[in-house]
Amino acid sequence: MDREEKQINEAALEVRKKKQPSKKGNAIELVSHYCKGCGLCVDSCPTGTLLLEDNVSSKFGISVMVDAPEYCIGCKMCERRCPDFAIFINHEMEKEKQ
């Protein structure tokens, strides 16, 4: 990871320090082979749930990981910001409701 990506992770961890785990469990689904590691989802997460990680199996060498799923509040900001449609929140649960 380069300096910018490390800064994104540090900012996410700082946000997480100020939050409490969510009372509601949320299912986060990542499609890692779609992820290019741009960091938009990590940057937009209001709870610091996601982080960037080095990933040798990714063609970009970096991808997103769910570092603290217990902090996810289900706001879907990450899902909305992802330009590659690589992250979904509560997708299976919503499909079952339909």
pLDDT tens string for the chain (98 positions)? 889 999 999 999 999 999 999 998 899 999 988 999 999 999 999 999 999 999 888 888 899 999 999 999 999 999 999 999 999 999 776 656 66
Residue linked to tokens 């990542």: 30
CA atoms within 13 Å, Cβ hemisphere of 6: 3
For the CA atoms of 70, 15, 17, 62, what is the dihedral angle to 10 degrees?
70
CATH number, domain with residue 14: 3.30.70.20
Could you tell me the residue range of the domain that residue 9 belongs to? 3-97
> Could you give the number of structural domains in the chain?
1
Dihedral over Cα of 81, 69, 52, 84: its sign: negative
SS3 85: coil
Backbone angle region of 28, left / alpha / beta, with phi > 0 → left and psi within -120 to 50 → alpha? beta
